[in-house]
């Protein structure tokens, strides 16, 4: 009995030691009080551009609040994580931080006081950021007006609210590192890979996650479901680079539009990037595997549902999208041949009908045409009917949309 107890104690000690080592690997030496990068207008301007590229302000600015003052809730399947204050306030923000502290947060997901950070702050992507870019970001954040706003405690369920659970998650799924250029690829491709994989943290939405919230095949960007928003972020690979670069800058094209959560990314981030960076990102994305073509899933819609859908389309949709579903170039997107419309589950299509479709206003397209919301005008069965119709018109073939699913996804539509 004593031997069993001793063995169990030894195994426990080994497990604890392994857990500690896995969470400390890659940590830089302890920061020093005077460790700060060289300051200057050029460095701050570079940091401002990088903050745009990473869309940092979106998560770290509460609605109606001061920029970068934190406190915006980020819903997750495990509870709500609240973003931190990134202004240089010495008591509630980054005022007492050093450049080494900031690098460690980006590269190792560890706060100034040693506390492990939740990966809603996507340090699993930011770990790839270069030290030079980290220093530029820090210089920019230090130049912001300080805002005294205490960080709001996270509202996570047990055991996800414990540092032990977070340490186990990191041991299983987090590997610190740096971006390593591919010598077999041109400089532009590597620049695009660096922006997409690191600062752009595209895998946060466009990669599947397991039950513990860790991304699967993050670098393939084959698409992922965003459960708390009921939105599917599609796969990004295999599309022609020039068209993708133009879409990222404008937010719309004659055949596609970036809607939902992606519209905010275009509004606050992508449209402000330099043309060569957008081209580099598109060049990298073109080489990723293309998402498989959509196939019909589920039962075919009943004749009565298609008939009702055709009536609703004629009354609500035909004036803009046309009898033939081809829309109007420069104004209304085509539905005929629209791959996004055929995706299963049809959650994005439901969200567009219920909440409306509003691309971002960009410098290249300052007055985009939008689609009004129908959440208060159509009931669940009617939304299901009109979508089942357009998913099976003009040569399309897709499964029926169920009123039950519309009801389930309706709850996430903003009023």
Mean of the per-residue pLDDT values of the chain: 90
Averaged over 221-237, what is the pLDDT?
91
Question: How much is the average pLDDT of 55-67?
Answer: 95
According to DSSP, residue 340 is labeled G
Same domain, yes or no, for 205 and 79? no
The verdict on residue 201 lying in a domain is: yes
Cβ-based burial of 320 (10 A; exposed 0-12, middle 13-18, buried ≥19): middle
Cis bond before residue 366 (omega within 30° of 0): no
Last residue of a domain, one of 239, 259, 286: 286
Specify if 213 maps to a domain: yes
Ramachandran class of 256: left when φ > 0, alpha when ψ lies in -120 to 50, beta otherwise: beta
Residues 30/111, Cβ–Cβ less than 8 Å: no
Over residues 277-297, the mean pLDDT reads: 87
Assess if residue 9 is contained within a domain. no
89 shares its domain with 211: no
Query: What confidence score (pLDDT) does residue 35 get?
Result: 46
Residues 147 and 215 in one domain: no
Q: Are 156 and 56 in the same domain?
A: yes
- Residue 399 sits in the same domain as residue 337: yes
Domain membership flag for residue 68? yes
Domain boundary among 173, 205, 230: 173
**Which residues, in sequence order, are CB contacts of 128 under 8 Å at separation 6+?**
177, 178, 179, 194, 197, 198
- Between CA 197 and CA 216 the distance in angstroms is 13
Q: Are residues 85 and 199 in the same domain?
A: no
Evaluate whether residue 21 is within a structural domain: no
Say if residue 153 is in the same domain as residue 210: no
Are 70 and 48 contained in the same domain? yes
Q: Are residues 215 and 158 in the same domain?
A: no
- In whole angstroms, give the CA distance from residue 215 to residue 205: 9
Task: Write down the pLDDT at residue 238.
Answer: 92
Last residue of some domain: 236, 259, 286? 286
Query: 157 and 66 in one domain?
Result: yes
Task: Tell me the CATH number at 377.
Answer: 1.10.760.10
Question: What is the tens place of the pLDDT at every residue in 63-110?
Answer: 999 999 999 999 999 999 999 999 999 999 999 999 999 999 999 999
What's the number of domains the chain is made of?
3
**Range 232-243 average pLDDT:** 94
Angle between the 131-142 and 99-108 helix axes, to the nearest 10 degrees? 120
- For residues 339 and 229, state if they share a domain: no
Q: Please, are residues 88 and 146 in contact by the beta-carbon 8 Å criterion?
A: yes
Residue 376 reports pLDDT greater than 50: yes
Residue ranges making up the domain that contains 315: 303-410
Query: Strands 73-76, 155-156: parallel, antiparallel or unpaired by DSSP?
Result: unpaired
Residue 67 belongs to some domain of the structure: yes
The model's confidence at residue 21, banded by pLDDT at 50, 70 and 90, is very low
**What is the Cα–Cα distance from 269 to 248, expressed in whole angstroms?**
10
**For residues 385-405, average pLDDT:** 96
Q: Provide the pLDDT for residue 11.
A: 39
Is 131 a member of any domain? yes
pLDDT, tens only, 115-124: 999 999 999 9
Output the domain CATH number for residue 247: 1.10.760
Query: Would 127 be classed as within a structural domain?
Result: yes
Are residue 41 and residue 169 in the same domain, yes or no? yes
């Amino acid at each position: 009995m004593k031997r069993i107890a001793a063995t169990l104690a030894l195994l426990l000690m080994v497990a604890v030691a392994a857990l500690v080592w896995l969470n400390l690997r890659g940590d830089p030496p302890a920061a020093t009080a005077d460790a700060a990068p060289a300051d200057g207008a050029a460095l701050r301007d570079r940091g401002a551009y990088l903050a745009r590229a990473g869309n940092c302000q979106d998560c770290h600015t509460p609605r109606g609040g001061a920029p970068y003052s934190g406190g915006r809730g980020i819903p997750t399947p495990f509870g709500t994580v609240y973003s931190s204050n990134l202004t240089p306030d010495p008591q509630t923000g980054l005022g007492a931080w050093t450049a080494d502290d900031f690098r460690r947060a980006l590269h190792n997901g560890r706060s100034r006081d040693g506390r492990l950070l939740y990966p809603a702050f996507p340090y699993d992507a930011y770990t790839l950021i270069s030290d030079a870019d980290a220093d530029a970001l820090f210089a920019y954040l230090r130049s912001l007006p300080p805002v005294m706003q205490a960080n709001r405690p996270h509202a996570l369920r047990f055991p996800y609210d414990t540092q032990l659970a977070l340490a186990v998650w990191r041991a299983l799924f987090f590997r610190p590192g740096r971006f390593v250029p591919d010598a077999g690829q041109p400089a532009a491709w590597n620049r695009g890979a660096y922006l997409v994989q690191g600062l752009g943290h595209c895998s946060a939405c466009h990669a599947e996650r397991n039950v513990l919230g860790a991304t699967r095949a993050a670098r393939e960007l084959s698409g992922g479901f965003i459960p708390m928003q009921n939105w599917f972020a599609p796969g990004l690979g295999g599309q022609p680079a020039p068209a993708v670069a133009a879409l990222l800058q404008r937010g719309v094209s004659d055949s596609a539009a970036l809607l939902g959560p992606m519209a905010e990314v275009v509004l606050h981030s992508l449209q402000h990037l330099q043309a060569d960076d957008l081209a580099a990102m598109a060049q990298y994305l073109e080489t990723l595997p293309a998402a498989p073509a959509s196939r019909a899933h589920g039962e075919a819609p009943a004749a009565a549902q298609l008939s009702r859908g055709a009536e609703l389309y004629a009354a609500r949709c035909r004036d803009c999208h046309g009898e033939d579903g081809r829309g109007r170039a420069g104004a209304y997107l085509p539905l005929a041949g629209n791959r996004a419309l055929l995706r299963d589950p049809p959650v994005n299509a439901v969200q567009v009908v219920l909440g409306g479709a509003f691309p971002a206003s960009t410098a290249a397209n300052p007055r985009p045409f939008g689609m009004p919301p129908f959440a208060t005008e159509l009931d669940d069965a009617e939304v299901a009917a009109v979508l089942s119709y357009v998913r099976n018109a003009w040569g399309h073939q897709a499964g029926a949309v169920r009123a039950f699913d519309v009801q389930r996804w309706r709850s996430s539509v903003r009023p």
